[in-house]
Structures are given as C-alpha cells and as structure tokens.
C-alpha cells in the first residue's frame, strides 16, 4: 500500500467510496480458522507497541510483556550504553521463562531452574558446570527480538528478519507522532481489561463516531455541539495500513463543575510544557494492527488491543504525563481524567460484547459499514490483504468468509 495520505474534508459517501461499499464478511470476526491466519500473517510479523521508554529510566531497568497471540513473553532491557534491547523471556538451557517480575532493575537475570545467568545485553554470563555441555557460551545468549522506539513508544517485531524497519512501517506518521507530548512522557496511569470480543470488533468501536450519540449521551458531550451534533470527524487520512482522523471538540460543552475543574487543571499542566505545540494535537492515530493514540496534550491517550483468541481480547489503556504531580490538585485532576476514561469505556464494553455474541451465532453472513465507519472498513481490508497474502504463500486459495 502507498504511504502517501489521501485526505477527505468533511467526508461524504462519495468521498470514501474508493475503499469500497460492499458488505464485509462476518466470519473473520469470530471464526477460529481466520484467527489462526491472523496470528501467523500479522501478529508474528508486524511491529507491535508494548511499552514506553519512561518504564526504562536507567541502565539495568527492564520490563516484561506477554504477547499471548504469539505464545510469547518479551523481556525489554536498557543497558549501560542506554540502548534498549528486547529478547524472548526464555532461558536458552531448557526453555524456562527467565524473569517472573513485570518490571524492575537488575545487573543480570538468573534462571531459577538451573541458575543460568544472563546480562542485560542477553549474553550468557555463567552457568554451573558449563564445561560439561557441548556448546559454547557465545551460542547460548538470549534470543533477540527486533525492537525500536518512536515517540517514546517501544515496538517489537517477532519476525526473525522483519520485512520493514519501524520507520518504514510507520512512514510519514512517525514524524507526526514525534511531535506529540507522549514522546516526552515521564509517567503514566494505566488500566488493563479483558473483553469477550474479537480484537477487530473491539478496536472498531474506537474507530467510528456513529455510536457516540447513542452510547455516550452524557460522557460524550464535549465532542458534540450545534456545528457538529453527531461528533463526526472532520477529516480522514490513510497511510498504507494505518489511518488517522481529525476530531472536532465543542469549546462550549456543558460539563459538570468537577469535569471543568479537572480538565482546566490538566490544561494548565499542559501549558507549562512550552514544547508541547503540535499541529497534530487534534489528530487521532490508528496504527496497524491495533494501536489507538490521541495526541491532545491535555489528555495524551494510548489504547492497545491485543487478541487472546478469536473471541477474546485484552486492552491496555494509558494516559501519559510529563513530570510528577506537584500537589494534590494535580493528582486529583490526573486521577479524575482516568476515571472519565474508564466511565466512557464501561459504556462501550457492554455493546461490544453484545455484538460479539450476535456474530458468534452465525446469524449474519455480512457486516455493513457506512461512510462514517470507513476506518473500520480500512482495517478489515488491511488485515485481509495480509491474511490472503500469507495463505497464497502457503499455497492456499480462496477467501475465508
């Protein structure tokens, strides 16, 4: 796919018809066979965001991230040379998971099974009675994983020889992301959820505004106004498998006093970051396969959705901040912003899972997307293009529907 953007101002049906208007097959949103193809074609071969450099503040810092869809656990470290490295969290002796903690700081990593010890550069440092083995230490280092950073966000690729570097994969979006405040974040608030829904169905909920006036009549008030009563985006851009939208916000939204206070204080905190200005602050980024980034400096929001099975997913929602809380007022404002995010998500969750139950029944052969759901259509086409290319490479034929 080309990495040059195609822009639609106040998109109409005709504007987005180039991505197709035909119904989308429902099977890929619940069938196990299609999910297995996604696992191999996408999640074992694509750049996936799994952390932020603020979690690795100094040499010896590490984090561990599970990627269930690939049956993998990834260890990410920062060395004395400040370089970020990633490895399979697997001892090269007998395959035992090496590190059980989610994060910390160590000079080395020792397997609890037979005490093989590795450095944060992945090299095997020592192993009891190693002279009795039939291999060199240099051949027993931790198995590396491709890793790179953009805008402070850490990405990994489980392919042993990725077809693209991260910069090429992101294309022009990489430069846009670097202007956002998340690139300078030093801390974050997070919550993790699991949902009984396909990863695409879950992610699609956050790619369309068609549902806002029905599901979020109260919490979505700030996104609507007389000039845009349905809170529709004002522009869509497409960059290869990725997509963006420009959102409209109502400066005169009728908010509760507590909401006005919290958002006002967050705006003051953001204003103190004199380098925050970005022409992309109102853009929302949807990075393939399933990363959502909202660039506003007031609520810098990142949401990742990862599949667990064909009909179950895990989401990680983070709000990133620059600097620690200086006082109780700032702490309250940041905590309240996360509470608002959770409230909105709670409203979404019920209908997402209801949609999955309906699809699981097999009652529908097709899903119908309208022009304001064009990002959902674009994601499906990006996924299916990779799935069909993978099937063709294996000598398979036909379309999974």
**Residues 146-202: tens digit of each pLDDT:** 999 999 999 999 999 999 999 999 999 999 999 888 998 999 999 999 999 999 999
How many domains is the chain partitioned into structurally? 2
What lies within 8 Å, CB to CB, of 395 at 6+ separation is none
**pLDDT grade, residue 32 (50/70/90)?**
very high
Q: Give the Å distances, CA to CA, from 340 to 51, 301, 334, 343.
A: 23, 12, 10, 5
* Higher-scoring residue by pLDDT: 47, 272: 47
Q: Are both 77 and 40 inside the same structural domain? A: no
Residues 190 and 146 in one domain: no
Nearest to 225 by CA among 204, 193, 251: 251
106 and 234 part of one domain: no
pLDDT of residue 335: 81
Q: Are 59 and 78 in contact (CB under 8 A)?
A: yes
State whether 9 and 88 are in the same domain: no
Angle between helices 257-271 and 328-360 (to 10 degrees): 110
pLDDT, mean of residues 360-370: 96
> Could you read off the pLDDT of 102-141 as tens digits, one per residue?
999 999 999 999 999 999 999 999 999 999 999 999 999 9
| Whole-number Cα distances in Å, 22 to 25, 33, 240, 377 | 10, 23, 20, 10
Same domain, 78 and 104: yes
pLDDT digits (tens, 9 = 90+) for 317-360: 999 988 877 777 777 777 877 887 888 888 899 999 999 999 99
* Mean pLDDT of the region 9-35: 80
Looking at the structure, tell me whether residues 107 and 41 fall in a common domain.
Answer: no
Q: Give me the mean pLDDT over the 40-68 stretch.
A: 97
Q: What is the pLDDT of residues 203-213, one digit of tens each?
A: 999 998 878 77
Q: Which residues contact 327 (CB under 8 A, 6 or more apart)?
A: none
Q: What pLDDT was estimated at residue 14?
A: 57
Its domain, for residue 252, covers 1-46+171-401
Residue 7 pLDDT grade (very low, low, confident, very high; cuts 50, 70, 90): very low
Residue 36 has pLDDT above 70, yes or no: yes
Domain match, 201 and 127 both:
no
Q: What is the mean pLDDT of the chain?
A: 85
Domain CATH for 286: 3.90.380.10
Shared domain check, 194 and 154: no
End position of a domain, from candidates 163, 195, 224: 163
Least confident window among 1-15, 237-251, 303-317, 370-384: 1-15
- The pLDDT confidence band at residue 48, using thresholds 50, 70 and 90, is very high
- CATH number for the domain harbouring residue 79: 2.102.10.10
Is the Cβ–Cβ distance between 337 and 357 less than 8 Å? Answer: no
One domain for residues 253 and 326 = yes
**Does 149 lie in the same domain as 128?**
yes
More confident residue, 145 or 398: 145
In this prediction, residue 176 carries a pLDDT of 92
pTM, to two decimals: 0.87
Q: In the predicted model, is pLDDT for residue 13 greater than 60?
A: no
- 130 by Cβ neighbours in 10 Å (0-12 / 13-18 / 19+) ranks as middle
290 in the same domain as 263? yes
């Amino acid at each position: 796919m080309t990495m040059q953007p195609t822009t639609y101002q106040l998109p109409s049906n005709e504007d987005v018809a180039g991505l197709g208007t035909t119904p989308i097959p429902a099977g890929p949103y619940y069938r196990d066979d299609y999910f297995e193809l996604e696992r191999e074609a996408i999640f074992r071969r694509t750049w996936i965001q799994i952390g932020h450099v603020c979690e690795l503040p100094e040499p010896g810092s590490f984090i561990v991230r599970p990627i269930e869809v690939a049956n993998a656990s990834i260890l990410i470290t920062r060395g004395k040379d400040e370089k970020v490295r990633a490895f399979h969290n697997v001892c090269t002796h007998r395959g035992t998971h090496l590190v059980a903690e989610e994060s910390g700081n160590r000079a080395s990593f020792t397997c609890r099974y037979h005490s093989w010890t590795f450095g944060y550069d992945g090299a095997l440092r020592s192993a009891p009675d190693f002279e009795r083995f039939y291999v060199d230490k240099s051949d027993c280092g931790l198995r590396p994983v491709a890793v790179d950073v953009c805008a402070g966000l850490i990405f990994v690729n489980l392919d042993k020889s990725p077809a693209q570097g991260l910069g090429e994969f992101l294309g022009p979006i990489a430069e846009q992301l670097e202007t956002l405040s998340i690139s300078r974040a030093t801390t974050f608030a997070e919550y993790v959820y699991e949902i009984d829904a396909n990863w695409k169905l879950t992610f699609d909920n956050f790619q369309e505004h068609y549902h806002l006036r029905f599901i979020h009549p109260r919490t979505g008030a700030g996104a609507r106004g007389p000039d845009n009563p349905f809170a529709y985006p004002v522009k869509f851009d497409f960059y290869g498998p990725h997509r963006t939208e420009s959102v409209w916000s109502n400066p005169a939204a009728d908010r509760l006093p507590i909401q006005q206070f919290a958002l006002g204080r967050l705006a003051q905190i953001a204003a103190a970051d004199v380098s925050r200005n970005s022409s992309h602050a109102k853009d929302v980024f949807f990075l393939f396969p399933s990363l959502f980034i909202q660039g506003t400096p007031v609520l810098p929001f990142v949401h990742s959705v990862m599949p667990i099975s064909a009909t179950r997913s895990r989401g990680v929602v983070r709000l990133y901040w620059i600097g620690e809380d200086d006082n109780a007022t700032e702490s309250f404002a940041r905590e309240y912003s996360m509470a608002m995010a959770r409230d909105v998500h709670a409203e979404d969750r019920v209908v997402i899972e209801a949609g999955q139950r309906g699809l699981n029944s097999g009652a529908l052969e097709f899903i119908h997307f309208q022009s304001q759901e064009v990002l959902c259509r674009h994601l499906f086409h990006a996924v299916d293009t990779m799935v069909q290319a993978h099937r063709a490479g294996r000598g398979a034929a036909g379309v999974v529907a």
